[in-house]
Amino acid sequence: MTNSSAIEKLNSALKELYTPADPQTLRKRTARMVRDLIPADVVRYAELREDQSGFENEYYTDRRDDFERYRPCFNAHMEEHPVLKYYRTHRVSRVLRISDLMPTERFSKTVIYNEFYRRMGIKHQLTTALFSREGRCREIILDREKRDFTAHNVRILEMLTPHLDQAFENAARIGILRSENVRLKNSLEATGEGFLLTDSRGKILYRSPKADQILEGTGEHDTLAPGRLSPRLKAFLDRMVFRLANPLSDAKAAPRLVLNFSTESRVIVRFSALPRLPGDRNEYLLILKRSPARNSFQPLRSLGLTPRQAQILQLIARGQSDADIGAALGISPRTVEKHLEHIYDKLGVENRVDASRRAFEVTYANSA
């Protein structure tokens, strides 16, 4: 293989290595990738147990059954292994051949060789160790029967080692984030809240059974059938995503959406951005909760307002902007302005402040 083709192959391997993956996927990917770069009979991934009594979370490119059969022999004599002994003593990442620490002839006389490696048909080994921040030792192990690994093989693994170390740290963080996301979704269900998992385009990736129950009767449920958010929910999502990306440009935007007002209940929608994994798409939760109606707009109808006008006046009294009201009610800001003109005429006022004062007076009198 020429130098240029070797470099191209290495670059391709690094690109694959940094593709986001959970720890289990990365173990398999690493073993296969290393064998493509460095010829070996078997490539293994293994993690040393905390009590150092053996390995766990192992992956083999070949001969798994043989390794499992002779594992007790290895565990019984692993203290003799020169490379493992080096890693235990020094706890540093270093690429090593057995022959770097012990002549092949001498190694062939050890008990671990005769009880384990000879039976497995393994005479030469090349290993790198990766130490996590918690002190856990991960090893990538290459085995051969016929010839020892060359200095060129060692250099390739040395170039790979820091990238392998970073890839496994990334995978560990990804595993934690995914576990947290699952925990969040489960906790929402446990508290009686439903949720819609969506991407930035409004495509529904998952909707909880509780979400269907909560949305029933709001006018939004049927629109979810094609697997996309309804126009009102999509407008709310767009507004929240924009505010997330531009925190100073829309500081007064309401952080929630009220899907319906009635004398009995309402549905509150809250927005949450899930932690984003490297290379993954952005995913968002719309968290749904049905709650009793509060400060119903019905008393405001005594002012001679239509139901829609009473809804808008109630939201004006809460300090919401025309854009917020339009998003909450599924109408345009321009339509909100037209409704306000009629509200001002009916109340005999000229601005939002005076209209809000009238709303508070009616609401207070109704609750007294």
Q: What is the pLDDT of residues 94-146, one digit of tens each?
A: 999 999 999 999 999 999 999 999 999 999 999 999 887 777 788 999 999 99
Q: Considering only 48-57, 78-87, 305-314, which range has the smallest mean pLDDT?
A: 48-57
Q: Considering only 213-222, 248-257, 292-301, which range has the smallest mean pLDDT?
A: 248-257
Domain for residue 183, yes or no? no
**Which pLDDT band, with edges at 50, 70 and 90, does 367 fall under?**
very low
245 and 169 within one domain: no
What is the mean pLDDT of the segment spanning 73-86? 91
**Which pLDDT band, with edges at 50, 70 and 90, does 364 fall under?**
low
248 and 227 within one domain: yes
Domain for residue 118, yes or no? yes
User: Which of 231, 259, 294 is the last residue in one of the domains?
Assistant: 294
- pLDDT at 226 (0 to 100): 66
336 and 233 within one domain: no
Q: Is the pLDDT of residue 349 over 70?
A: yes
224 and 110 within one domain: no
225 and 169 within one domain: no
- pLDDT at 122 (0 to 100): 93
- pLDDT at 55 (0 to 100): 79
150 and 33 within one domain: yes
218 and 84 within one domain: no
* CATH code of the domain containing 272: 3.30.450
Strand pairing class (55-60; 42-48): antiparallel
Domain for residue 325, yes or no? yes
Q: Is the pLDDT of residue 92 over 60?
A: yes
User: Which of 136, 152, 177 is the last residue in one of the domains?
Assistant: 177
What integer best gives the mean pLDDT of the chain? 83
33 and 167 within one domain: yes
Q: Is the pLDDT of residue 1 over 50?
A: yes
User: Which of 121, 147, 177 is the last residue in one of the domains?
Assistant: 177
Domain for residue 185, yes or no? no
Q: How far apart are CA 40 and CA 146, in angstroms?
A: 10
pLDDT above 90 as % of the chain: 27
- pLDDT at 368 (0 to 100): 42
What is the mean pLDDT of the segment spanning 303-325? 87
Q: Do residues 285 and 196 make contact, with C-beta atoms less than 8 angstroms apart?
A: yes
- pLDDT at 141 (0 to 100): 94
Domain for residue 39, yes or no? yes
What is the mean pLDDT of the segment spanning 307-323? 86
Domain for residue 161, yes or no? yes
- pLDDT at 145 (0 to 100): 92
Condensed to tens digits (0 to 9), the pLDDT of residues 34-44 reads: 999 999 999 99
Q: Considering only 6-20, 57-71, 256-270, 299-313, which range has the smallest mean pLDDT?
A: 256-270
289 and 301 within one domain: no
The total of structural domains in the chain comes to 3
302 and 290 within one domain: no
Domain for residue 119, yes or no? yes
348 and 269 within one domain: no
Return the bridge partners of 268, or none. Answer: 258, 289
* CATH code of the domain containing 102: 3.30.450.80
Domain for residue 125, yes or no? yes
Rg value, the chain, Cα: 32
**Helices 307-317, 333-347: crossing angle, 10 deg rounding:** 90
| Domain residue limits at 344 | 295-368
173 and 37 within one domain: yes
**Which pLDDT band, with edges at 50, 70 and 90, does 200 fall under?**
confident
Q: Considering only 67-71, 190-194, 273-277, which range has the smallest mean pLDDT?
A: 273-277
This prediction has a pTM of 0.55
Condensed to tens digits (0 to 9), the pLDDT of residues 319-332 reads: 888 888 888 788 88
* CATH code of the domain containing 328: 1.10.10.10
Greater pLDDT, 343 or 289: 343
